[in-house]
Amino acid sequence: MKTPAALLPFIAIALFCNCASPENHGTSGAGTFPDTLGQLLVNQVGYHPEAVKIALIRMNTAKFDVVDTETGKVVFSGKPGPFKYWDLSGDSVCTADFSSVTKPGKYQICLNNRSVCSYSFEIGDDVYSNLAKASLRAFYLNRSGMEISREFGEKWARPAGHPDTGVFVHSSASSDKRPEGSKISSAGGWYDAGDYNKYIVNSSITTYTLLLFCQMYPDFCNSFSNNIPESSNSIPDVIDELLWNLRWMLTMQDPDDGGVYHKLTNKEFSDFVMPGKATDPRYVVLKSTAASLDFAATMAMASRVFATSESQELKKLGETCLNAAMNAYAWAKAHPAIYYKNPSDISTGEYGDTELSDEFFWAASELGLAENNLAVISKEEMNAQKWMVPSWDYSGMTGIISLSLTDNPGASEIKAEAQGIVIDFADQLVEKSESASYKVSLDFFKWGSNSDVANMALIKLVAYKITRDEKYFASIQGDVDYILGRNATGYCFVTGFGGKQVMNIHHRPSGSDGIAGPYPGFLSGGPNTVTFADCPDAVRSKFPAKSFVDGLCSYSTNEVAINWNAPLFFVMGAMDSLKKKKS
């Protein structure tokens, strides 16, 4: 029998009213007890003093208290809002708004005479600084072809793996000057995700996101130090990090015709071993239209960002990037429908994409801005793009973002239209978060759902950059809160942070280094119901927002990926940057 919709919220409330006694919990703070049953959902890292601060409650209670964990004193008491049901999580939650608590310190939310308390969190000006640093350092820890020394990697130090100085040309990628079996050097880059391969389409959106951050927050980048091997040079650490990947990307272009290889890979995924022990042959595989367009767009964006640098090295590299972008775009125009599909002897990640109108628009937009050739940018194509957050397989909004932020005086008309699209999309996302029970814009769960949340915050940050309208910040804070614990699973989804931490990410180095706990600073992919085949013995919720497994086997929910970490760093760095400016 189908349950009447009107009764669902009350049934959901009843499911969460079995309050555990204190002896069933570990102690924390000043005699309070962390909520291990998920009856209180809160950002487990913290808030800036003036931020909107909202926790979620999944049990009946007349009031909630905010407790200072050092003194044990109640600093604020409030009445929860009404319960609201979410069909994607199968439960009801009510809000606990404690925005008026602004004094820096460490706190918990407690219910029912402290029989149930949340994980602790902090209020302070620098609450996101370590998150920003860790989320960017995750890229350093995931570098291919580099030893991670103890000086910079601490206990996650490891020998170098995959030098990629002798990579085979696969039969699908062969040409007269580079026949099958010939070798090229394609060193550097980041490992893409939980595996040891490197993919152009995913590297492109990742590198673009970091470049966009450098464009939007140059002062923050100039002062941001992250203790990487290049930190002593004159180039900002954010750019130093993305250069490790961008220079690898340049090696993936065939210098004879401008086409770009889709990926550099083993024939099969390697076992869970450390990088230095994964020694199977490596191949560059098939030049594809999508890879060439994504490459062209990213290189054109890099040329624009580097042109504003005081570094002559970067200015010269920018010229190289622009030339590479033009050649890749010309190849894609001449080969507009070479869609990537794994050859029969290759079984690693495919990143296939047969809808390329967005990639053509993105590449044309970036090249038009870089070359000051605005005639190649089509308003009609811009207005035909879907309102979707940037991703490896849909980049239309990425081109719109670049157009909305251009300072080219000749682009004022199309810039205004692009800004209108970004603002309207951001306003739509804000409206969703304001009406949602979980106070988040996300209303779908596909692979990497946590990155969608981060990218939604990115869209709102771009809208704020354009308008300087403070209305976006409550919604951006909601996205941050979701990632850091205020979600239906109760996990803080960034490794190394929070009270309920993700511990078993699908990531080969983390799973084979013999160290308890994963590499820090990685964003777990998050809940989805795309596949249930990865961990057949795991108990998995059928509700999308709860369908998550903190297990090494769960590549569908608990893998990490560079294109997920890039928006994570973007948002955490932006929050840190904007707070410093307001202080």
Q: Which residues are catalytic?
A: 195, 506, 550, 559
CA distance 231 to 147: 16
Q: Give the alpha-carbon dihedral of 131, 473, 567, 492, to 10 degrees.
A: 50
CA distance 354 to 573: 34
Structure tokens at 364: 């044309």
What is the DSSP secondary-structure string of 490-502?
A: --B-BTT-SSSB-
Contacts of 332 (CB under 8 A, 6+ apart): 259, 289, 292, 293, 296, 360, 363
- Given phi > 0 = left and psi -120 to 50 = alpha, else beta, which region is 189? left
Which residue's entry shows tokens 């030893």? 147
Task: Note whether 374 and 308 are within 8 A (CB).
Answer: no
CA distance 104 to 127: 10
Other CB atoms within 10 A of residue 434 CB: 13
Structure tokens at 201: 């389409």
Which residue's entry shows tokens 């940057």? 577
Distance of CA 568 to the CA centre of its chain: 4
Q: What angle do CA 168, 173, 178 make, to 5 degrees?
A: 65
Task: Note whether 201 and 287 are within 8 A (CB).
Answer: no
Q: Among candidates 43, 60, 37, which has minimal Cα distance to 112? A: 60
Phi and psi torsions of 46, nearest 5°: 150, -165
Sign of the dihedral through C-alpha 489, 495, 500, 502: positive
Other CB atoms within 10 A of residue 276 CB: 13
CA distance 31 to 68: 11
CA distance 489 to 496: 17
What is the DSSP secondary-structure string of 15-65?
A: HT--PPPGGGS--BTTTB-B-TTSSEE--SSEE-TTS--EEEE-S--S-EE
Task: Note whether 503 and 492 are within 8 A (CB).
Answer: no
Q: Among candidates 306, 300, 182, 311, which has minimal Cα distance to 249? A: 300
Contacts of 517 (CB under 8 A, 6+ apart): 495, 496, 501, 503
DSSP SS3 for 197? coil
Task: Note whether 272 and 177 are within 8 A (CB).
Answer: no
- What is the residue type of 447? W
